[in-house]
Structure formats: C-alpha cells, structure tokens
Amino acid sequence: MVPFAGYSMPLLYSNQSHIESHNWTRKNAGLFDVSHMLQSKLVGVDCIKLLNKITPTDFGKVPVNYSHLSVLLNKNGGIVDDTIITKGDEQSSLFWIVTNANRIKEDSEFFVQEIHNLKEKGKENNGVDVHWQVIHGRALMALQGPKAKKILSSLLKKLDGKDDELKTFYFGERRQLELFNDILINVTRSGYTGEDGFEISVEDKHAEEVARLLLDNESTKPIGLAARDSLRLEAGMCLYGNELNETINPVEASLKWVISKSRRNNGNFNGFDKIMKQLNDKSNEKVRIGFKYLKKGPAARGGSKIFQQSILSTKDEAVTNPPVQIGEVTSGSASPTLNNINVGQGYVQNGLHKRGTPLLVQVRNKFYPIEIVKMPFVPTHYYKPLSSSE
C-alpha cells in the first residue's frame, strides 16, 4: 500500500508482479478501485453557461448520456484538472463530472469561485441558475480489458428483448444497468487503459458485493496503481501533475481536440485569446510528445532532461557540439506490451516535436538516444459503432 492523494492505495496485489498485472489487463480483465476520484454534478438551467466558461468543449452538442473528456481552465488558460463530463438530460440542466483525487481541494475552490463569478455577472439578467454538488455515498470502480464486456454482461439481469444489452452500448456512453441481484449501477463505457472497459458507479453499501461478483470470474484480477500507470502511459494518456498542471494549456499539452470547432470563434472560455493565438499561429513554446528508446538503458522518469545533439559540418569534418537541453520528461517506464522497450512522455521545444526526430535523454549523467513517436504507443480497443464486432 502507498499513500496517494490522502488515501492508502494498493501499488500491487498479492501474488502479482507489476508486469503480470499489466499484461493480465491487456489480455483478460483488470478491476481497479478508483473510488478516490471525485464524483460530482452540475444542476440548473444555466449549466452550459458555466461549462462554456470553464471548458473549451461544446457540451451543448454532446448527446444525452454521452461523456466527453475535457479540461477545466483557469483565467490564463492553464489546466486546473482534466475531467470526464457526461450530459444527463435534453435540457442541459444536469451533468455528471469525474475529476482527480489529488485535485479535490483545488477543483472544489475552482467550481465555487467560477459559479460565484458567473452569478455576479448575471445579476442584471435575473440571475444564474447553476449549482455544483459533490456526490457522496458512491464507490467507483473500473473494469478494463478485452474480456470486460463478457464479464459484466454475465452479471446483468436478463430483460425481455434484450439478450445482449452491451452490444449497442458504445465508448463514451452512460447507462444505468441492473444486475441479476437487483443492484443498480451507473456505467460509462470508458477507462484509463486504452482497452475496452467500463467505469462503474455504485452505492457504497453495494460496492463490496459488486466487486466480489466481478472478481469471482476467473478472467478478472484486482489491479493496483503500478499497472494503472504503465497502462495509461502506453495508451498515451496524461496524468495530472506529470503531463498537466495550471501553467500548461491544451495546445501545449497536444489536447487540441478538446477545443470544439464550434468554440474556436468567440468561444469566450477562460484563456480564450491565449489558447486560440497558439492554436492558430503555432506560437506555443513547447509541445507534449511521446518517445521511445533506440537502445537499452534505464527508463527516463519524470524530471529527466531531453537534449538535442547538434552536428555542424565544416569543410573538412563534422563537428559534434555539446548537447543542448530542449525539454523534459514527464512520465516514463518500460512498456510491458512492447517487450519492455522504454517509452515516455515529455515536453520539448516547438519545432523539435515532429515524429522521427532523434533526441537524447539524460539518465544518471549518461545520454541515451530516443526518437519522437506517435501516441498511443500501443493500439487502443475502444468499442465504437464502426468497429463493433464481437
């Protein structure tokens, strides 16, 4: 067990190594306890007004009971947190939100202050109706892996005319499902591993029973933080505090896709001018990238420096100059799925971020050659309508 965001969390479970846990999830199904994450909701007819201010995503166009990854933005366009937000009704008066455990204090203060600012601004127009509420009394667990669908399906109550309710339940969608024992669970088909899977919100009083039912299947094992991190790294996903913080904006973080096209003209979200300038003229100084090692060596961890090796050609010979630092690693480890090749994420100077660019990473005062590559590092297996063959 290790401390994490004020909680005691399992790094590994008994009789499993990190690599075994990682590979099991890629081939079977892993169950993650993510109850430490903050579940909350926005309620009120003016939810969209708030979301349009604090995120760059057009949640008005998100279908009901579908979720979208986005970011909460401070006044300078920096990322307060990354978040999954789900639209709850046609009137856009209910949204469910999941944010990171290590940002609970900051996120709470952020929502309270932003709602206060919006209500102050709206006093002249008969006020603003939006409220942020923490959801208490619910656990959250994630079932991830290629066998997740079969495992969850086996526990569902069989309803007339619905032999396979999960067949038309797609990535990003949210549904309330009923288990064979009458327990209701709120489920989103999503996750943090790149695999097909489900995030399951359930009342605290039923959490242990649901977890045991999932673990009773021989294809399911409990998985700890160590594998959760290496799985998300292979999937090219950000970890708040590593790849994201309040000084980094979505353009720098290579998250331009969270900025809806409909919000790019007069979007009026926090940091709009700065973000759109960087998006349009590519003036951001740094860019988040993925890299892989070109030869064996110790993995580069967060804080390791990234260098460019410059070679000048003279009339008679090539002269190698001392390496120049052009970036920093944010996450790195061996990739179990890629035969333990070292991979990582980091930030480098804009212009030196193109795929195939050769660079150097410094670990323990030695330099190791790396190459910028496309993320994710491994194929993802999200269950989408065009790829829905099971």
In angstroms, the CA 16 to CA 14 distance is 5
In angstroms, the CA 74 to CA 270 distance is 6
- Strands (DSSP E) along 125-190, which ranges? 131-134, 138-144, 174-178, 184-188
In angstroms, the CA 250 to CA 242 distance is 14
Query: Closest by alpha carbon to 174, among 160, 185, 159?
Result: 185
Identify the bridge partners of residue 38 per DSSP, sorted by sequence position: 99
Amino acid at 375: M
Query: Closest by alpha carbon to 65, among 185, 174, 187?
Result: 174
199 is annotated as contributing to ligand binding? yes
In angstroms, the CA 356 to CA 350 distance is 14
Identify the bridge partners of residue 360 per DSSP, sorted by sequence position: 307, 369
Query: Closest by alpha carbon to 263, among 128, 62, 41, 85?
Result: 62
Pairing status of strand 197-203 against strand 184-188: antiparallel
Q: What length does the chain have?
A: 390
Query: Closest by alpha carbon to 142, among 37, 47, 72, 281?
Result: 37
Phi–psi pair at 280, nearest 5 degrees: -80, -40
- Chain centroid to Cα 36, Å, comes to 15
| Residue 314: strand, helix, or coil | coil
At a CB cut-off of 8 Å and minimum separation 6, what does 6 contact? 36, 101
Contact indicator for 328, 342 with CB cutoff of 8 Å: no
**Cross-sheet strand order for the sheet of 131-134:** 67-73, 79-87, 94-99, 38-43, 131-134
In angstroms, the CA 278 to CA 112 distance is 29
The residue assigned the tokens 């063959």 is 389
Contact indicator for 111, 53 with CB cutoff of 8 Å: no
Known binding residues for substrate are: 199
Known binding residues are: 199
